[in-house]
Each structure stands twice: as C-alpha cells, then as structure tokens.
Amino acid sequence: MAGLMAMSVATRYRAPLLAPTFYGSLGLVAFVNLAVHASYRHTRGFSFWNIWVPSFALFLTEQIASTWRTRRGILITKIVQHPSKIIEIQLKKGSYNVKAGQHIMLCCPEVSTFYFRKLILTSASEEDYLSIHILCIDHFTIEVAKTLGCNIDELDLRTMSEVIAVDEDMGNAEFDPVIRRQFPVLYIDGPFGSAAAEIFNYEVVILVGAGSGALHFASILKDIYYRLSSPRTETCLRKAYFFWICKDFSSFEWFRCLLMALEVQDIDRHIEMHIYMTGRNLMAQSIAYQHQSDFDSWSAPVTYRRPDWNAVFMSLRRIHGARTSGVFCAGPSGLQEDLQEMCYTYSQGGCKFMWRGSQF
C-alpha cells in the first residue's frame, strides 16, 4: 500500500533536474516495498524477480529519459490574454516533434519547483510554434499568469484578445517595444499521446466536445484544415463535423475566435461546425451579445438547447450513405454513453458509425 501511495504522489509531482531525488525516490520506495514484502513472504523461485528486475530497469530508464527531457527548458515567445480568464502561451518549437491532440507536462519553477501540470497543445503540427491555453481559476494557474506579466484584475473584464508580452529577442518589428520582456524559463515533459492519428483513417469524422473538452480539438481542427487544404498531403478524410456543447457565451467567447478563423480560411467547407448552448436565458443574452461582437457574421449554426442526436445521426446517414464514419468525443461519461448508443443504433447496412470514444 505504501508503494502504491508513493507512486500516486510521484506521478503528480515531478521535478525537472530533481527527478532522480524526488520523483525517482518515491518510485524507488515502491520497488523496495515490493522487494521487502516478497522477501518476508518467502517468495521462492524466479517468478517474482523475473518481473521485478525488468520493471525496475524500465523505471530507471524512464527516470533518466524524463530528467534529460525536462532539463532542456523551453523559451516563451509570446503571451496572449483572452477573455474568460484564458491566457495563451506560445513557446519556441525547436526540435519538438508534435502531433495534433497531444499534451505536455508543464512546470514553472518560479511558481512551484516540483509541480507539473498536464496541458493540451492547441497548436497544429504544421505551425512553427507550440501553444497552450490556460484557464486561470486555481492558485497555480493564477500565479503562472502573474509570473508571465498578466494583469489578473483584468481577467474577468477583458472582452477581446490582446498580445500583452513578447520575447525581447524577437526580431519582428510589428510589436510595440513596450511589451517586449525577458520571460522565465519553463520546463516541459512530453509531448505525450496522439488522439488525432486515427481521425485521418476515416472519410468522415464526427467530433464532439463538451465545455472545456473542446480544447482537445483545437489542434485537431487546425490539423484537419491544413491537411485537407494541402494538395500534397494524402489522407482518407474528406469531411469533418464538429459539435461543441457549452453552457453560455462567457465559456464560448475564447474559443469562438479560433473557430471563426478556421471558417474564414476553410473556403471548401471541409469542416462543418455546430454550436449548442445549454445555459439559461441564452436567447436574451444573444440579443445584447450580437450588438457588441461579430457573432452574427458567423455562418455556423448556434442552437439554444441540447443536441438531438437522433436527428443528427439520421441526417449524417442520409448525406453520406454507405460510408464508415469515426465518432470521437471529449466530454462527460453520460454524453459518451449517448453517442455510443447512437453509433450502434444507426450503423445499418453499408452505413457504419465507429465509436472511437474519448482517446485523449
């Protein structure tokens, strides 16, 4: 039990440069406990040690690799402050080989030496920088925002995105010298995972994001656009449907700019977007909202209720006929169960909806 507790703590708190002494030490405690337990149990033969020794060797290898990865550090190039308490951090890509849908573990030593936070990459693999969006709602994220020069008092009041700081060594003359500054060095581990790899194996994909789950699709939607817009890139994918279910306009605002930019660039309409607002008094909010933004210029349909998945899947089956479509979701378990049931219900004849679940 002590070993399992040590491992659970170790996976949450990981320190650059100190991994062998902190994270590695806690992991070492787990292996020592297992060995002591086996000794007192008078384990005979080689069965236990045949498992323990290779596992311990793999653990040490992972620690050495992790320490080497995090030791390099990464440079910040730009900080953008968005509405809805969102800050965007753009990082120098360097030699990092990233894919859409991946995540990184981020450490800001000036805030916490030992704490790594899992963050989704929102930049596409074709872009020459890495970007992450952080929702500033807890102690760690707020302190990171302060360290990077964000005005915390304006997080709730901001109505539009603004570049608030750029690296002082950037040669681009378009930025005001006043906002140039020297950023602290961040440490990252990763990137890990790749949710987007399987998306390009289908001719049609249905992407469903609920609330902040849409963040998982930020880089994926960009990657889809770049691949389908480039004649040199071979892919099976021909059409993508993106459904975003969110509560209200405040949670919708920061992501709207990205979707609108994609819509403007996507002339051939490879990506079709549908937005569902599920909060209260949204119709009254929308009247005032349209007067202060370009929301009404967006052609993507916005519906003020929960999705009627029966109607959605019937329409998709009628449009695409005998094709195999992949269904991906980032959201609560109840939504995933509904979508899984829809896939089984409407997979008839040559039309198939392949439930790929939440692979993020």
Taking only the tens place, the pLDDT of each residue in 177-212 is: 778 888 888 888 878 876 567 888 899 999 999 877
Q: Are strands 180-181 and 162-167 parallel, antiparallel or unpaired?
A: parallel
Closest CA to 205 of 172, 234, 228: 228
Mean pLDDT, rounded, of the chain = 77
Q: Are strands 204-210 and 324-330 parallel, antiparallel or unpaired?
A: parallel
Proportion of the chain above pLDDT 90, given as a percent: 16
Give me the pLDDT at residue 250, please: 63
Proportion of the chain above pLDDT 70, given as a percent: 71
| Cβ proximity of 152 and 237 under 8 Å | no
pLDDT in tens, 95-132: 888 888 888 888 888 898 878 888 989 888 888 899 99
Question: pLDDT band at 149, cuts 50/70/90?
Answer: confident
Of 22-31, 291-300, 314-323, which one has max mean pLDDT? 314-323
Closest CA to 2 of 23, 39, 22, 27: 27
Q: Are strands 239-246 and 117-120 parallel, antiparallel or unpaired?
A: unpaired
pLDDT at 67 over 70: no
Return the minimum-mean-pLDDT range out of 64-68, 139-143, 290-294. 290-294
pLDDT at 73 over 50: yes
Cα–Cα distance, 236 to 199 (Å, whole number): 9
Residue type, 296: D
Give me the pLDDT at residue 16, please: 39
Give me the pLDDT at residue 282, please: 56
Cα–Cα distance, 277 to 169 (Å, whole number): 43
Which whole number is the average pLDDT over 71-98? Answer: 84
| Cβ proximity of 129 and 77 under 8 Å | yes
Cα dihedral angle (223, 228, 232, 233), rounded to 10 degrees?
A: 50
Chain length of the chain: 360
CA separation, residue 51 to residues 34, 115, 150 (Å): 11, 31, 50
- Find residue 87's DSSP bridge partners: 81, 134
Of 5-14, 35-44, 221-230, which one has max mean pLDDT? 221-230
Give me the pLDDT at residue 107, please: 87
The pTM (predicted TM-score) of the whole model is: 0.76
Return the minimum-mean-pLDDT range out of 57-61, 161-165, 283-287. 283-287
Q: State the CB neighbour count (10 A cutoff) for residue 216.
A: 25
pLDDT at 334 over 80: yes
Give me the pLDDT at residue 331, please: 86
Cα–Cα distance, 173 to 257 (Å, whole number): 24
Q: What is the b/e burial string over 186-200, where b = at least 16 CB atoms within 10 angstroms of the residue's CB?
A: bbbbbbebbbbeebb
Residue the block writes with tokens 């730009």: 78
Question: pLDDT band at 15, cuts 50/70/90?
Answer: very low
Give me the pLDDT at residue 314, please: 94
Return the minimum-mean-pLDDT range out of 62-66, 95-99, 186-190, 307-311. 62-66
Identify which has the larger pLDDT, 284 or 69. 69
Give me the pLDDT at residue 144, please: 92
Question: pLDDT band at 153, cuts 50/70/90?
Answer: confident
Question: 3-state class of 201 per DSSP?
Answer: helix
Closest CA to 258 of 215, 292, 290: 215
